[in-house]
Structure 1
Amino acid sequence: MIDYIAISTLNDFIFCPYSIYFHNVYMDTDETMYHATPQTRGRSAHETVDKKTASNRADDILSLPVYSEEYGLMGKIDVYKRKERKLIERKYQLKQIYQGQIYQLWAQMLCLEEMGYAVEELAFYEISANKMIPIKKPDNEELRMFRSFIERFRNYNPEETPFTVNPNKCRHCIYCSLCDKTTENNVYQ
C-alpha cells in the first residue's frame, strides 16, 4: 500500500523537513500559538475556496480533492477552470515564488491529469494584488527532477540525514520559537 504524500507538505519539505514534524504535532492545537500574520491571511484567503464561494461560474471547480497513484500524492486544488483547462493556486501575497510552491502546483496538475482532467495552463493568483501569474508546465527534464524530489521526500529519514540550521529560514519559520534546533527569533514576533 502506498503512503500518500500530502501535496501541501512539498514546499514545507524544501523549506525545512523538521517543519513537517511541527505541523503534525501542533495540527490539532490553537493556531494562534504559532501562526503569524502571513499564515492567518493565507488561511482567510483560502476560506472562499474551501467554502466554494470564490467563484459562481458553473465551469469552475473549487476545492476538489485530488490524488495520484503514480506519484503517491494527495491533496486539494484551489481552482480549475474547465473551459480554459487552467489550474490556479490562490495565494494571498507572493513576494517570490519558490520551487516548493511550483512543485505543489505541478503535483496538483499531475493528479488532475491522472484523474482525467486536461490541464493546459498553470497559474498562481495573487489575491492582494488581484494578479494572475502564469507558470509554465513542466517539461520532461523537470518532471524527472520532480520524480527525484518525490523519491527524496519518500525516503527521507531524519535519523540518517544531518540537520543543518539555516538562520535565514529559521527566522522566517512560524515554528521557530517552538523548535529545539535553533535559538533564532523569528521575524514575526
Structure 2
Amino acid sequence: MHPDVLLSAIEHYSYCPRQCALIHIEQTYDENVYTIRGSLAHERVDSGDKTPNRGTITQRGLPLWSEEYGLQGKADVVEWHNDVPYPVEYKVGRRHGRHADVQLCAQAICLEEMFHVSVPRGAIYYGATRKRHEIIFDSELRAQTLQFVAAIREMLMNQDMLPPAAHDARCPNCSLINACLPEIVGQERRLRIMQAELYKPQAISEVE
C-alpha cells in the first residue's frame, strides 16, 4: 500500500528535499523565530469555522484529501466564489520563489476531486506585505506538483538514505540546521574523510 503524501510535505520538498525527509521520515522538527511566527499566524485560520466575509462564504481549516493522488491535509482558508472553491494559503513572510505555489495547487487538486468542480486559481496571503498573490493553476504548475508528489512518495517508501544537504543560502534560516548539519554533510570530500576515519581499524597497540 502506497503512503499518502501530506500537503505540507510538498512545499517542504520544493524548498529542500532533505528538509522534507527530516520532517516526514525522521520526524524531526525544531522551532525558530520563523516557525513560531508561522504558528501564531495560523492560529486563527485553523479554527475550522465557516463564516461570511464581505458576502463571501469562508471556511477555515478545511480537511482536504485526494484518493486518486493519495493526498491529505488541511486548507488554511477556502473561499466560495459562486459555488467554486478558492483556496487561500497564509504565509507569515514575503514571497520567495514558488515553493508555496505547489502546495496550493495540490489543495486545488483535492478540492476538484472532493467537490467535482474545476478550481482554476487560488491565492497566497503574505503577512509581511499584507497582500495576496493570486496563483493560476495552469498545466505546468499542476505537472510540477504531481511530480513532487511522486518524488515524495518514492522517498517515503525507500527510506534508505536521506537526500543530500544543500549547504547554500537557504540553510541559515532553516529551523532544522542543527539536525541537518549542512556544513558537514554538504561537503562530500570532508564527509568521505570523516567516514573513512570513523571506520578505520586501529592497531591493538593504539587501543592500549
TM range (shorter): 0.7 to 0.9
Q: Which residue of 2 aligns with 1:182?
A: 183
- Relative CO higher for 1 or 2, CA cutoff 8 Å, sep ≥ 6? 2
Unaligned runs of 5+ in 2: 186-208
Contact 1:123–1:135, Cα closer than 8 Å, also in 2: yes
Moved more, 141-150 or 106-115: 141-150
Alignment of 1:129-144 (within 5 A): 129-139=129-139, 141-144=140-143
Alignment of 1:151-170 (within 5 A): 151-156=150-155, 157=158, 159=160, 163-170=164-171
**The structure with more helix, counted as a fraction of residues:** 2
C-alpha distance in 2 between matches for 1:117 and 1:82: 14
Unaligned runs of 5+ in 1: 28-33, 185-189
Moved more, 36-45 or 85-94: 85-94
Q: Percent identity?
A: 27
C-alpha distance in 2 between matches for 1:183 and 1:83: 50
C-alpha distance in 1 between matches for 2:75 and 2:163: 33
Instruction: Give, in angstroms, the shift of residue 110 of structure 1.
Output: 0.3
Amino acid paired to 1:173: C
Larger C-alpha radius of gyration, 1 or 2?
Answer: 2
SS in 2 for 1:40: helix
Q: Which residue of 2 aligns with 1:7?
A: 7
CA distance change for structure 1 residues 129 and 148 in 2, over 3 Å: closer, same or farther? closer
Q: Which residue of 1 aligns with 2:128?
A: 128
Alignment of 1:1-189 (within 5 A): 1-24=1-24, 25-26=27-28, 34-52=30-48, 57=53, 59-83=57-81, 85=84, 86-96=86-96, 98-116=97-115, 118=117, 119-139=119-139, 141-156=140-155, 157=158, 159=160, 163-183=164-184
Instruction: Give, in angstroms, the shift of residue 180 of structure 1.
Output: 4.0
CA distance change for structure 1 residues 159 and 45 in 2, over 3 Å: closer, same or farther? same
Instruction: Give, in angstroms, the shift of residue 151 of structure 1.
Output: 1.6
C-alpha distance in 2 between matches for 1:52 and 1:135: 23
Instruction: Give, in angstroms, the shift of residue 70 of structure 1.
Output: 1.3
Query: Normalising to structure 1: TM-score of the pair?
Result: 0.79
Instruction: Give, in angstroms, the shift of residue 14 of structure 1.
Output: 2.5
Aligned length: 176
Instruction: Give, in angstroms, the shift of residue 74 of structure 1.
Output: 0.6
Q: Which residue of 2 aligns with 1:31?
A: none
